[in-house]
Amino acid sequence: MSQILKHPVKLALYDSQGSQLQYFTASFSVLISQHFSATKSAAIESRASSSSGKISKKGVEIWLKAVKEMIREAQAVENKVSNGRYLCRACNGKLVDEKTREMKEFLDNAPKASEGLAMDGPSAGLPLETSELVGEEAVRKEIWACLMQEEVSKIGAWGMGGVGKSTIMKHIHNDLLKEQRFERVVWVAISKEFNIVKLQNDIASALNGKMPEEANKVRRAAILSEKLKRAGKHVLILDDVWSEVSLEEIGIPKPSSSNGYKLVLTTRVEQVCKSMGCKVIKVKPLSEEEALILFLSEVGPNMVQNQTLMPTLKLVVKECAERIGKVKEGEDKVIESLKVSFNHLKDEKMKHCFIHCALYPEDFQIGKDGLIECWIEEGFIDDMSTRQEMKDKGHVILKKLEDNCLLENVSSETVKMHDAVRDMALSITRMNPRYMIQAVENCHLV
């Protein structure tokens, strides 16, 4: 009899609280779902901020941890209620009510994205101002193809001053932004007087960040490395590199196929590319055909359509190319730009070897062996035990001048000096005659 009476009691209790319990449970489930959604949203924004170089504010990180604990507790309560008997479910109604209100208050205090995260910067970077690119399409395509290959992580574009290395890379930089294959594209110009602190600051600034006033070199490198890693899959372009730089000392993570990082540098020195393990790509001066295209793009369509003038125009372009170093307008700028390569030579006797090459006529193909013999006679190469050792030293100097884009390798036996480079060398002798005195007195090859 008592067993029969128990059932009406249970039913009465359930009927009186059933609707309220169902309401609490339904509300509870909605809030759990909202918490999951809020957690996912905040976590995504937190990851996004890290990949773009931003640091999530501490409040967001603390709230995310607290939310996970709240969800765990809430699910435990919901399971307890849904799996209990009638009487237990009724008794747990108050617990559901309390937990529901607790969760609602917690959700109301969730940090907003605009308050919890640092300010957004550009998603990948800003386009660079650049001039129209004429010619160099083959080099541009080669560099682009290397960037798209997983196995190529470091690329070095080298060539003499003024051939368009920086212009080509600016166009590639802007194309990378449009393609959106990388999360960040960073461009940094390196000053001729390399300064590691300035470079670190410039890279951090390009990532919309700032380096701390930290004197410890190791810590600065670690901080910058972390910033670049947070940038995700990125391309770092270092423009106008003059000597080998240590990526580790700067804080640049080693690019590899596994992390997707890419490093591109432009330089006038081939050895810089090789010493840093880059895929070496040479940027040559415009060919006569490319120079003609550039000339015709400037003179206008009417001139281009007049086919009878084309032979004359080609001669004009050829003559201009030969005399470009002699044109007074812009001459100083061209010479000063090329002179940087000369000043980069640290050895004084090597500078004499270079200036000596200007004694040869324009476009003259200079025999390597004869040139080295002349250097030896001039005393530009130090005395050694044997003549052969001195000749070997001469070939080392030749290679150094070629690597610095001061001489062009024509064949295994000859080199030549570009007209603009020759004009630069002659301008140095006018300003500093001591470089030419010995060569004029002793050389019999001109």
Give the end of a domain, one of 299, 323, 347. 323
CATH code where residue 394 lies: 1.10.10.10
The answer to whether position 355 is within a domain reads yes
The answer to whether position 248 is within a domain reads yes
Q: What is the 3-state secondary structure (H, E, C) of the chain?
A: CHHHHHHHHHHHHHHHHHHHHHHHHHHHHHHHHHHHHHHHHHHHHHHHHHHCCCCCCHHHHHHHHHHHHHHHHHHHHHHHHHHCCHHHHHHCHHHHHHHHHHHHHHHHCCCCHHHHCCCCCCCCCCCCCCCCCCCCHHHHHHHHHHHHCCCCCEEEEECCCCCCHHHHHHHHHHHHHHHCCCCEEEEEECCCCCCHHHHHHHHHHHCCCCCCCCCCHHHHHHHHHHHHHHCCCEEEEEEEECCCCCHHHHCCCCCCCCCCCEEEEEECCHHHHHHCCCEEEECCCCCHHHHHHHHHHHHCHHHHHCHHHHHHHHHHHHHHHHHHHHCCCCHHHHHHHHHHHHHCCCCHHHHHHHHHHCCCCCCCCEEHHHHHHHHHHHCCCCCCCCHHHHHHHHHHHHHHHHHCCCCEECCCCEEECCHHHHHHHHHHHHHCCHHHHHHHHHCCCC
* Residue of 78 and 352 predicted with greater confidence: 352
Interval 305-332 mean pLDDT: 53
274 lies in the same domain as 153: yes
332 lies in the same domain as 417: yes
- Model confidence at 185, pLDDT cuts 50, 70, 90, reads very high
- Model confidence at 194, pLDDT cuts 50, 70, 90, reads confident
Between 11-20, 34-43, 149-158, 308-317, the lowest mean confidence (pLDDT) is in: 11-20
- Model confidence at 137, pLDDT cuts 50, 70, 90, reads confident
339 lies in the same domain as 420: yes
* b/e map 403-421, b = 16+ CB within 10 Å: bbbbbbeeeeebbbbbbbb
Q: What is the pLDDT of residue 317?
A: 56
Q: What is the pLDDT of residue 373?
A: 94
Give the end of a domain, one of 116, 150, 165. 116
Q: What is the dihedral of CA 398, 401, 402, 403, to 10 degrees?
A: 120
- Model confidence at 414, pLDDT cuts 50, 70, 90, reads very high
149 lies in the same domain as 249: yes
Domain housing 177: 137-282
262 lies in the same domain as 216: yes
Specify which residues 282 forms β-bridges with: 158
Q: What is the pLDDT of residue 331?
A: 56
The answer to whether position 129 is within a domain reads no
16 lies in the same domain as 82: yes
- Model confidence at 106, pLDDT cuts 50, 70, 90, reads low
Give the model confidence (pLDDT) of 338-355 as tens digits. Answer: 888 888 888 899 999 999
The answer to whether position 121 is within a domain reads no
CATH code where residue 208 lies: 3.40.50.300
The answer to whether position 126 is within a domain reads no
* Residue of 253 and 327 predicted with greater confidence: 253
Q: What is the pLDDT of residue 432?
A: 73
- For residues 127 and 124, give the distance between their C-alpha atoms in angstroms, rounded to a whole number: 10
Tell me the average pLDDT of the chain.
75
110 lies in the same domain as 78: yes
* Residue of 35 and 426 predicted with greater confidence: 426
- Model confidence at 11, pLDDT cuts 50, 70, 90, reads very low
Question: Does the structure show a pLDDT above 80 at 276?
Answer: yes
314 lies in the same domain as 373: no
- Model confidence at 30, pLDDT cuts 50, 70, 90, reads low
361 lies in the same domain as 345: yes
181 lies in the same domain as 268: yes
Most confident of 38-52, 244-258, 289-303: 244-258
Reading across the β-sheet that carries 234-241, which strands appear in turn?
Answer: 184-189, 234-241, 262-267, 154-158, 279-282
167 lies in the same domain as 227: yes
The answer to whether position 19 is within a domain reads yes
- For residues 299 and 206, give the distance between their C-alpha atoms in angstroms, rounded to a whole number: 39
Q: What is the pLDDT of residue 129?
A: 86
Record the pTM.
0.56
Q: Which residue has the tokens 């959106």?
A: 180
Question: Does the structure show a pLDDT above 90 at 444?
Answer: no
- For residues 346 and 106, give the distance between their C-alpha atoms in angstroms, rounded to a whole number: 68
Q: What is the pLDDT of residue 101?
A: 74
Structure tokens that stand for 132 in this block: 């129209």
The answer to whether position 319 is within a domain reads yes
Interval 152-173 mean pLDDT: 91
Interval 217-238 mean pLDDT: 93
Q: What is the pLDDT of residue 333?
A: 65
The answer to whether position 426 is within a domain reads yes
60 lies in the same domain as 159: no
Distance set, CA 419 to CA 323, 329, 367 (Å):
8, 17, 17
Q: What is the pLDDT of residue 213?
A: 83
- Model confidence at 329, pLDDT cuts 50, 70, 90, reads very low
**Does residue 169 contact residue 239 with C-beta atoms inside 8 Å?**
yes
Q: What is the pLDDT of residue 337?
A: 76
| Burial category of 13 from C-beta neighbours within 10 Å (exposed 0-12, middle 13-18, buried 19 and up) | middle
- For residues 28 and 40, give the distance between their C-alpha atoms in angstroms, rounded to a whole number: 18
**Of 278, 312, 274, nearest in space to 295 by CA:** 312
For 435, other C-beta atoms within 10 Å of its C-beta total: 19
For 273, other C-beta atoms within 10 Å of its C-beta total: 24
Q: How many separate domains does the chain show?
A: 4
**Does residue 272 contact residue 242 with C-beta atoms inside 8 Å?**
yes
